[in-house]
């Protein structure tokens, strides 16, 4: 049996970016603590999706949060 189709499948899965991540993953991605991530979600700065007791954070929301923090300040 050839392992080529299996390897191609693994590469494809690795190339697909998840839409949602766990709080722990978001903390790792942003280099912040879990408690800071929960604080950001509670303050409404970082949106999350609930599924039962689990909370997941959209990857797009992580990118948007970073973009807001790195955008140059507007001068009047």
Residue 38 has a pLDDT of 97
pLDDT, residue 19, reads 95
**pLDDT surpasses 80 at 7:** no
Report pTM: 0.73
Quick check: 61 pLDDT over 80? yes
pLDDT-derived band at 76 (thresholds 50, 70, 90) equals low
Determine how β-strand 20-22 pairs with β-strand 54-58.
antiparallel
Neighbours of 76 (CB within 10 A): 2
Range 14-32 average pLDDT = 92
**Mean pLDDT of the 53-67 span:** 96
Residue ranges per domain, the chain? Answer: 18-70
């Amino acid at each position: 049996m050839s392992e080529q189709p299996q390897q191609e499948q693994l590469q494809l899965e690795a190339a697909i970016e998840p839409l949602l991540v766990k709080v722990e993953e978001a903390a790792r991605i942003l280099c912040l603590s879990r408690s800071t991530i929960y604080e950001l979600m509670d303050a409404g700065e970082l949106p999350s999706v609930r599924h039962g007791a689990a909370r997941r954070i959209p990857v797009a929301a992580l990118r948007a949060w970073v973009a807001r923090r790195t955008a140059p300040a507007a001068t009047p």
